[in-house]
């Protein structure tokens, strides 16, 4: 008895297509919600109302819940039994611990990058630094922040250590909201840009020890800025634009 080879090898791909589409929607929803949380559109403590978010994003509950699961793994939302999840509160002690780890990781990474990065890569960082300085002058906070994050990722990638890079990527995701918040402190934009320039100059002369120390200090200064914002009376330290060039 012969078997129809077409019949025996056929596979119902409908469920697979549904899963791929669902996963894609979940990832898109995750990215949108993550940015809403980072930028304060979904404030700490805000309730996650699934029907409202489904309507707002134009998706069903399945991809939304997958997106919420990813956000929970990033520490950006807090699930609650039999109640709506909430946007996670910013825990000062946890942030202190996270910034300690980030400072250590980035210090190690840039000290290795000073030995391992090509001249072309360092030149690319210099180009990005110039772009960062222009965004500072323009006061484009979102673009400045995005480029800042990219520079940190490139510095770590320069270490040529995939384990270090993956660890840093996960950590940066957990710190993204806090790092964005740090730009609320008066003068932090200019300080951060100047610190980036000093790190770049150390890299250009292949001084890994100096670059590592400067980057570690830079990360700690960001943490200090957040602490200052959290402790200050409302409205005392906030600014939506950087200092003018004439004040720098």
pLDDT in tens, 122-137: 999 999 999 999 999 9
User: According to the model, what pLDDT value does residue 238 have?
Assistant: 47
CA distance 61 to 30: 13
- Is the Cα torsion angle 184, 190, 194, 197 positive or negative in sign? positive
Highest mean pLDDT among 7-21, 32-46, 208-222: 208-222
Residue 1 has pLDDT above 60, yes or no: no
CA distance 104 to 211: 13
Does domain 92-247 match CATH 1.20.1290.10?
no
Q: Topology of domain 12-87, per CATH?
A: Arc Repressor Mutant, subunit A (1.10.10)
Beta-bridge mates of residue 47: 86
Mean pLDDT of the 136-141 span: 94
Mean pLDDT of the 141-149 span: 95
User: According to the model, what pLDDT value does residue 23 have?
Assistant: 65
CA distance 88 to 8: 51
User: According to the model, what pLDDT value does residue 185 have?
Assistant: 80
Per-residue confidence band for 22, with pLDDT thresholds at 50, 70 and 90: low
User: According to the model, what pLDDT value does residue 17 have?
Assistant: 46
Mean pLDDT of the 210-219 span: 98
How much is the pTM? Answer: 0.76
Residue 186 has pLDDT above 90, yes or no: no
CA distance 76 to 84: 14
User: According to the model, what pLDDT value does residue 242 have?
Assistant: 53
Q: Which tokens sit at 186?
A: 């008066």
Domain segments of the chain: what residues? 12-87, 92-247
Cβ 67 vs Cβ 29: under 8 Å: yes
Residue 245 has pLDDT above 50, yes or no: no
User: According to the model, what pLDDT value does residue 21 have?
Assistant: 54
Mean pLDDT of the 57-67 span: 93
- Is the Cα torsion angle 215, 216, 219, 220 positive or negative in sign? negative
Over residues 29-48, the pLDDT tens digits come to 999 999 999 988 999 999 99
Cβ neighbour number for residue 197 with a 10 Å cutoff: 16
Per-residue confidence band for 63, with pLDDT thresholds at 50, 70 and 90: very high
- Angle at CA of residue 177, ends 211 and 77, nearest 5°: 135
Per-residue confidence band for 70, with pLDDT thresholds at 50, 70 and 90: very high
């Amino acid at each position: 008895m012969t078997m129809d080879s077409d019949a025996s090898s056929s596979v119902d791909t409908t469920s697979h297509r549904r899963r791929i589409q669902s996963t894609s929607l979940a990832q898109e929803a995750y990215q949108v919600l993550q940015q809403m949380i980072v930028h304060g559109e979904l404030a700490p403590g805000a309730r996650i109302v699934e029907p409202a978010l489904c309507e707002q994003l134009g998706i069903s509950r399945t991809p939304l819940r997958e997106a919420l699961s990813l956000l929970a793994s990033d520490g950006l939302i807090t699930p609650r039994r039999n109640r709506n999840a909430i946007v996670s509160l910013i825990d000062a002690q946890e942030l202190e611990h996270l910034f300690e780890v980030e400072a250590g990781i980035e210090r190690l990474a840039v000290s290795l990058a000073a030995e391992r990065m090509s001249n072309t890569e360092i030149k690319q960082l210099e180009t990005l630094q110039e772009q960062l300085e222009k965004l500072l002058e323009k006061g484009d906070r979102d673009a400045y922040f995005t480029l800042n994050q990219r520079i940190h990722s490139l510095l770590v990638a320069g270490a040529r250590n995939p384990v270090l890079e993956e660890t840093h990527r996960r950590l940066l995701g957990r710190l993204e909201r806090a790092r964005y918040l740090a730009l609320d402190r008066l003068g932090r934009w200019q300080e951060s840009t100047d610190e980036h320039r000093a790190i770049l100059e150390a890299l250009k002369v292949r001084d890994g020890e100096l670059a590592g120390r400067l980057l570690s200090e830079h990360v700690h200064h960001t943490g200090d800025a957040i602490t200052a914002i959290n402790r200050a009376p409302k409205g005392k330290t906030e600014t939506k634009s950087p200092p003018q060039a004439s004040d720098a």
